[in-house]
């Protein structure tokens, strides 16, 4: 077998070969920082159709293109207004130390967008630096604090963890900092289990009660997000809307996870390009497309991805991994420092399929050099994404990025056309429709 591996005669790829060896040695599921890397339809399979003679493009020098985004207007008395249709996704405390979470919050404030706390509760640094903060309520309830809940601008009720739409996840917890232990109010062990369901509701009939409970806790001021993984998207979005959600976030299979079995992320879920179309159709069939906001989470890398998501029906997108990549030079230094200090095994993992390392650093923001520069890097990244969205919208003759629509798109593959109901290039109708 060694000879086969060296000569390339084995039918397995080097990655598959290494995974088999790892499973044989450990007898355990592969658990770690994961994101799906398998081939799937993406926004690259769509192209925007710019103006020529039939439409007139906007002049970028003096004709404005609005990016202002208002979310949560259905029932909340204080909807949130973003500078651009982008939010920062919630990420796990076990993946990110307080300093990194603080930098993400500070960068989001500079960019005028919404920051989400993520798994593990809210840190003081997050509330201090985030101008607009969304507080995640997860099935595990780790770090949940009602006093923190009422400080939030938005409440995000996560139905299930995105990487595990049907089962809970084993997670490695060693190396948690004292700050995290204090915030999360739990005794960490080597391996714990993150539950898949909320302890106080188990089915769709309980969801309206939970949404109402959160509304009462926040005096009906904060918009309520119901976050679902992209599985039975049409039905789930309708259930969330009927339960009274102001906003529905759909997390595609591209979304990364701080920890969890890799097989779930690779072989479950629906790609975002298809999920957003189903979600939009679900709201349209209820007549709520103008009342309930849609956010797409997972795999967003550029302004082109965002513009295409908006054209397919999203009101905003949420980024996680891309935001971390924007901090990478700073994060790399902190990862190396954390390794020298004996930090978490998975925090600087070199086994990431994309090769990215994640910082795990100081106990407080004040201990971390380069914090301000890191926040500015994120703000710069968001600013550039916004300029890209505006450029594409102007090219399509739109004075508002939210005016982008499916008619501005054409599919580059038959697969993408059938999934999104967008005609192939050179055609005006979808084959078979």
Domain 56-402 in CATH 3.20.20.70: yes
Give the integer Cα–Cα distance in Å for 212 and 326. Answer: 37
CA 94 to mean position of chain CA atoms: 17
What are the respective helix, strand and coil percentages of the chain, to the nearest 5? 40, 15, 45
**pTM of the predicted model, to two decimals?**
0.86
Q: Which residues of the chain have pLDDT under 50?
A: 3, 6-7, 162-163, 165-167, 172-191, 335, 339, 343-362
Query: What is the pLDDT at residue 4?
Result: 52
- Residue whose C-alpha is closest to residue 257's, from 115, 367, 162: 162
Please state the domain extents for the chain: 56-402
The whole-angstrom separation of Cα 59 and Cα 305 is: 22
Q: What is the pLDDT, as a whole number, of residue 32?
A: 61
Closest CA to 290 of 376, 401, 378, 402: 402
pLDDT score for 194:
67
343, 322 Cβ separation under 8 angstroms: no
| DSSP-assigned states of every residue in 168-199 | -EEEE-TT--HHHHHHHTS---SEEEE-SS-T
Q: Tell me which residue of 77, 51, 82 sits closest to 66, measured CA to CA.
A: 82
Dump pLDDT digits (tens) for 350-374. Answer: 333 343 444 444 456 656 678 889 9
pLDDT of residue 29: 82
Give per-residue burial for 206-222: e unless 16+ CB within 10 Å, then b: ebbebbeebbeebeeeb
Residue in 215, 228, 80, 226 with CA at minimum distance from that of residue 149: 215
Number of Cα atoms under 13 Å in the Cβ half of residue 2: 0
Q: What is the pLDDT of residue 354?
A: 40
pLDDT at 271: 92
From the list 385, 320, 295, the residue with the least C-alpha distance to 69 is: 295
**C-alpha to C-alpha distances, 380 to 172, 323, 392, nearest whole angstrom:** 33, 11, 19
What does the pLDDT read at residue 69? 98
Length of the chain: 433
Token pair of 72 as six digits: 């949560």
Is the four-CA dihedral 281, 286, 292, 298 of positive or negative sign? negative
Q: Give the number of other CB atoms < 10 A from CB of residue 234.
A: 16
Map residue 242 onto helix, strand or coil. Answer: helix
359 and 335 Cβ atoms separated by less than 8 Å: yes
Would you state the pLDDT for residue 35?
61
């Amino acid at each position: 077998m060694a000879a086969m591996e060296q000569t390339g005669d084995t039918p397995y790829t080097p990655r598959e070969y290494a995974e088999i060896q790892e499973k044989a040695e450990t007898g355990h599921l592969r658990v770690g920082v994961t994101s799906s890397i398998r081939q799937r339809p993406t926004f690259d399979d769509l192209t925007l159709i710019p103006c020529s003679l039939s439409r007139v493009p906007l002049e970028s020098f003096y004709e404005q293109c609005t990016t202002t985004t208002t979310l949560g207007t259905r029932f909340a008395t204080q909807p949130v207004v973003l500078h651009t249709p982008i939010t920062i996704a919630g990420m796990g405390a076990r993946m990110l130390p307080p300093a990194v979470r603080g930098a993400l919050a500070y960068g989001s404030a500079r960019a005028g967008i919404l920051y989400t706390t993520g798994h593990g509760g809210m840190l003081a640094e997050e509330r201090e630096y985030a101008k607009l903060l969304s507080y995640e309520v997860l099935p595990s309830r780790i770090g949940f604090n009602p006093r923190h809940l009422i400080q939030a601008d938005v409440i995000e009720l996560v139905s299930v963890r995105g990487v595990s739409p049907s089962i809970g996840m084993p997670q490695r917890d060693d190396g948690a900092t004292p700050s995290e232990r204090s915030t999360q109010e739990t005794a960490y062990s080597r391996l714990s289990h993150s539950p898949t369901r909320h302890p106080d509701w188990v089915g769709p009939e309980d969801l309206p009660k939970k949404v109402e409970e959160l509304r009462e806790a926040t005096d009906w001021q904060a918009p309520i997000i119901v976050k679902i993984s992209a599985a039975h998207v049409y039905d789930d979005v309708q259930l969330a809307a009927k339960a009274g959600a102001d906003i529905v976030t759909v997390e595609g299979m591209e979304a990364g996870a701080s920890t969890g079995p890799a097989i779930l992320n690779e072989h479950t879920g629906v790609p975002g390009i298809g999920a957003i179309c189903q979600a939009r159709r679900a709201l349209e069939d209820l007549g709520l497309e103008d009342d309930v906001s849609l956010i797409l989470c997972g795999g967003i890398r550029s302004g082109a991805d965002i513009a295409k998501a908006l054209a397919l029906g999203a009101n905003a997108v949420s980024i996680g991994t891309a935001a971390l990549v924007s901090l990478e030079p700073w994060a790399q230094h902190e990862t190396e420092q954390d390794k020298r200090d004996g930090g978490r095994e998975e925090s600087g993992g070199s086994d990431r399929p994309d090769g990215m390392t994640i910082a795990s650093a100081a106990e407080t923001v004040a201990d971390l050099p380069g914090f301000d520069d890191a926040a500015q890097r994120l703000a710069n990244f968001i600013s550039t994404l916004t300029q890209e969205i505006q450029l594409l919208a102007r090219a399509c003759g739109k004075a508002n990025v939210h005016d982008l629509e499916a008619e501005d798109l054409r599919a580059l593959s038959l697969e993408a056309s059938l999934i999104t109901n967008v005609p192939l290039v050179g055609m005006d109708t979808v084959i078979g429709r």
